[in-house]
Amino acid sequence: MLISTEGYRYNKNGELIKKDVSLLKLSGYKVKVKCDDCGKILEILWNNRLHKSSNIDFCGSCSHKGFKNSQFNKDRKILCKNARKYQIKNPMKGKHHSDESKYKMSIIKSKHICDGTFNILSNNRGRKSRYYSIKNNCKFHSDSNLELLRMIQLDNDKDVLSWTKLHKIKIPYTYNGKLKNTIPDFLIKMKNGINIIEEVKGYITEKEIIKKISIENYCINNNYQFCFKTQKEMNKDGEYRKFLKDLKNNKDT
């Protein structure tokens, strides 16, 4: 049910503009309505209300209940079949970024990772966690359990002076003809004065090999030593397997 007698919007200067609902027609003005089912008051665009088949107003929750849902009582197999057909027919439906935009986003994301301001929960790949380093008196995020184990090892290594993930090193590489950036996992300073850039990888793919080559070249040109540790190497004496078992036991208790 329509409650508002006026619709409103803000212009580009941030000024509030109001107009009587009888004069709105097709417009981007907002109005207040009351859900005819639960009585919830909400704001909607006048255009959205105008394009509906009836003047009955439902909130998002009520519109998905029972017979009010457009897919109510339909066979799920048929719905999935139609969805797949639609995707095949419209493969480019939705938002697709240009290569230039993707590269700009890669630069922004890599900057946040280097600065330590990247929200690890926004990336759903891998096992994300936080680790407080006693040696560095700083908190870091780990992208995997393997990386978390390596942090503990570096903290306990007497030959390591300090280590960090916030080293601000961004290395460009090209994959499938597209320019991207990679951020090495660790910058390690040894007590003997050697600086090491280290990568820790559980699974080796073609993309990871290309990254590895780019980081190796960067190290050669910038007087760093390069270390590439795999899961197999870190589980040489069953250490990684034991670490995972201890993690699971700690969560259960």
- Residue-wise pLDDT tens digits, 202-231: 888 898 999 999 999 999 999 999 999 988
Contacts of 1 (CB under 8 A, 6+ apart): 33, 34, 36, 57
* Residue 245 reports pLDDT greater than 60: yes
* pLDDT band for position 111 (cuts 50, 70, 90): confident
For the chain, give the mean pLDDT: 83
Question: What is the rounded distance in angstroms from the CA atom of residue 108 to the CA atom of residue 98?
Answer: 15
Kindly indicate whether the domain formed by 99-252 is annotated with CATH number 3.40.1350.10.
Answer: yes
Q: Regarding predicted confidence, which is higher, 123 or 200?
A: 200
74 half-sphere exposure, CB direction, 13 A CA radius: 13
Predicted local confidence at residue 199, as pLDDT: 94
Domain borders along the chain are 6-69, 99-252
pLDDT tens string 139-169: 888 888 899 999 999 999 999 999 999 888 9
Q: Which of 56, 54, 23 is nearest to 37 (CA)?
A: 56
Which two tokens mark 38?
């639960």
Q: Would you state the pLDDT for residue 78?
A: 80
pLDDT at 53 over 70: no
